[in-house]
Chains A and B, each alone.
Chain A
Amino acid sequence: MSRVVELARLMQGNEAAAEGALAAGVRFFAGYPITPSTEVAEIMAERLPRLGGKFIQMEDEIAGMAAIIGASLGGVKSLTATSGPGFSLMQENIGFAAMAEVPCVIVNVQRSGPSTGMPTAPAQGDVMQARWGTHGDHPIIALCPSSVREAYDLAVRAVNLAEKYRVPVILLMDEVIGHLRERVVPPPPDELEIVSRREPREAPADYYAYRAGADGVPPMANFGAGYRYHVTGLAHDEKGNPTNDPATAEALLLRLHDKINRNLDDILMEDSRSLDDAEIVVLAYGAAARPARQAVKEARQRNIKAGLYRPLTLWPFPTAGVERLARQAKTIIVPEMNLGQYRIEVERTVRGRAQVVGVNRVNGELMAPGEILQAILEVAQA
């Protein structure tokens, strides 16, 4: 029996995100050029028409985000890609997608900020913005890769989660991962799990666009499919019609959060190294997880019981995973290329049961293993 084997390729992180999204069925891209994410748009412009899909360069990131929501309502899996300043501009419409439950994926290749910052330099300064960038209490999922292959896999996963839970999903990359080139063997297409939105089975007259079943996710009728309904960013009832009724508005908001919170087992992904007996745990994500892994390895060589915990799903926060660390570890070290945005969440969960130490860098350079190792050694010797 013969089987198809994909050849290894030297692939860039941004390319992997684009190819992963295409493999997951994305056939629409709208965006605006911005360093260091532009390669995603360029690849989409070249690849999509060949696949029968559509690419459009919009007048700004606000329009890019709006257009992918429109295309997704039309039934086409949709993607945009941007970086810090563009991510800021997208926030209002990301909130719309969360409120109106329109599946879509936003790739944010983080660069040094605030403002224009250092456009070609890496950072992890958008961690909190990915969670709370748009106004109001809203659900969100953010995934964070640490390698090129993982950018591919998490792009597939991001599309799947967006479709399954009808929620905007942020693929939170950074300039290091976006521009990194690594050897990648893409998974064979027939081995990929591809998820598409659940469509209604009932007759149009019986369809309530925002009435959810047991999983909290309403089936989604695509525009043009014969189900005429209303989509709005206003608080709305199960028909989708606007309302100011306090009970209806509250029930909607609680369901939007509940559909994520009750499916954490499915949504949360994590990775770990030498964690079993670890007394010092390095909790790291994205580019910072690469030097963190090296630092843990070197600490082990010095007989220090160090381990790595790496959340791939940054949001929703992996509370149960960090709870485990709080019970097990004496110290949790959180290296970040920001001033401690995720560390605050770790401290909030740990509640003093373990020491939480930040290693932070905001100079536009990638963290080095040595500075994380230094933190491990200081803790071990204390």
Chain B
Amino acid sequence: MMEELERYLRKDRFPHMWCPGCGNGIVLGCMLKAIKKLDLDQDRTVIVGGIGCSSRAVGYLDFNTLHTTHGRALAYATGIKLARPELNVIVISGDGDATAIGGNHFIHAARRNIDLTLVLFNNSIYGMTGGQYSPLTPAGKKATTAPYGTIEPGFDASELARAAGATFVGRGTTYHTELLTGLILKGIQNKGFSLIESVNACPTAFGRRNKMKGGTEMLLWQKENAIHINRAGQLSKDELEGKIVIGELHSYEAPEYTELYDKLIADVRQETPGPSIKPLKVK
């Protein structure tokens, strides 16, 4: 499988910049497997990233790639998709990038149900700047800017996307790679806005400070604490406290934005144009 995925990589860009134990490579691998299964045309696929460790992934990928400004990946991607609806557009963003500085674009891209697939690498921390807390850092966890533990409650990014209007929402972890691959695949297939949140280990900036040991232990933590949506329904709220619900969380049919716009163009072009000043023909 690995060899089959190599065609999607800019191998001259390696070694990558991520730390030992980082989950980014696992999510990226799942994403490429989904792309492989769907046989997406590399020339017709755009991958957009924001700013942060995970967003740097776009530079390693052999597609039309765009590494944007902090938090704005979805806004850039909206422009690409609306201008060129025939292109596949996938967005890679971290938890700080997507839900703090980019939170506004996150809810509005979901609200429009524009056909973008957002793969959210949720490692609960700002890794690139050295470990500051993000809106997805669980309350009580330590960060360089929360040395006594954060007193802010975190977002549930998947719930936020669902409430805002996303038509496909799934959550996986870097331990459950088959599940994650399948979710990304379904997200790309969904004609509308899709969020795939991947719970991701950052041993360097998050685990170390929160007594979670190394990358392996953090993967095992994901295994122990993840509960599939099919089983979560049978558990009480108390039993679900501190657990990560994974699987296909939300799937819904609604009109897609660029299709609506194309229909609007077709409709207004059929209408008789209103009174306007026409050029004169003179001899």
Instruction: Name A residues whose Cβ lies closer than 8 Å to a Cβ of B.
Output: 1-7, 9, 28, 30, 49-50, 52, 54, 56, 58-60, 62-63, 66-76, 78, 92-93, 96, 188, 223-226, 228-234, 241-242
Asked if B152 lies at the interface with its beta carbon under 8 angstroms from chain A, I say no
Residue contacts A-B, CB under 8 angstroms, 26 given: A2-B282, A3-B282, A6-B280, A7-B277, A7-B279, A7-B280, A30-B79, A49-B261, A49-B269, A50-B268, A52-B265, A54-B82, A54-B83, A58-B75, A58-B108, A59-B105, A66-B76, A70-B79, A72-B79, A74-B80, A224-B43, A224-B44, A224-B84, A228-B64, A230-B58, A230-B67
Asked if B66 is at the interface of the complex by the 8 Å CB criterion, the answer is yes
Give the nearest-CB partner of A233 in chain B: B69
Closest to B278 in A: A7
Asked whether B62 is an interface residue with its Cβ less than 8 Å from the other chain, the reply is: yes
Residue count of chain B within 8 Å CB distance of chain A: 46
Max chain B C-beta neighbours (<10 A), residue from A1, A9, A76, A232: A232
Q: Known A62-B72, A71-B83; judge A50-B269 contact (CB<8 A).
A: yes
Q: Closest 9 A-B residue pairs measured CB to CB? A: A70-B79, A67-B79, A66-B75, A71-B83, A63-B75, A232-B67, A74-B83, A70-B80, A74-B84
CB-nearest residue of chain B relative to A6? B279
- The answer on a CB contact under 8 Å between A228 and B75 is no
Known: A228-B63, A230-B59, A241-B59. A66 touches B280 (CB 8 A): no
Assess the B64–A4 pair: CB atoms within 8 A.
no
CB-nearest residue of chain B to A64: B75
Residues of B within 8 A of A60 (CB): 104
Do A233 and B67 touch across chains, with their CB atoms under 8 A apart?
A: yes
Q: Is the CB of B64 within 8 A of A49?
A: no
Q: A66-B68, A93-B72 are in contact. List 15 more A-B contacts (CB 8 A).
A: A4-B280, A4-B281, A6-B279, A49-B261, A49-B265, A56-B79, A70-B75, A93-B69, A96-B68, A223-B46, A223-B64, A223-B66, A224-B84, A228-B63, A233-B69
In the complex, whether B77 has a CB less than 8 A from a CB of chain A is yes
Chain A residue at smallest Cβ distance from B277: A7
Indicate whether B42 reaches chain A with its CB closer than 8 angstroms: yes
B68 contacts A223, C-beta separation under 8 Å = no
Give min CB distance, B114 to chain A, whole Å.
9
* Interface pair B58/A63, CB less than 8 Å apart: no
Q: In this assembly, does B283 line the interface, its C-beta being within 8 Å of a C-beta of chain A? A: yes
- Decide yes or no: A232 and B59 within 8 Å by CB, A67-B82, A74-B87, A78-B79 being known contacts: yes
Tell me, yes or no, whether B190 is within 8 Å of chain A by CB.
no
A62 lies within 8 A of B75 (CB): yes
Contact of A73 among B42, B80, B105, B277 (CB under 8 A): B80
Contact A96 B69 (CB under 8 A): yes
The answer to whether the Cβ of B253 comes within 8 Å of any Cβ in the partner chain is: no
Decide if B13 touches A66 in the complex (CB within 8 Å). no
Q: Which of B42, B66, B279, B280 is in CB contact (< 8 Å) with A70?
A: B66
Asked whether B261 lies within 8 Å of A63 as measured between CB atoms, the reply is no
**Complex CA distance for A49 and B62, rounded to whole angstroms:** 33
- The CA-CA distance from A290 to B66 in the complex, in Å, is 44
Task: Write the B250-273 contact mask toward A (1 if CB under 8 angstroms, else 0).
Answer: 000000000001001100110001
Please determine whether B72 and A63 come into contact, CB atoms closer than 8 angstroms: yes
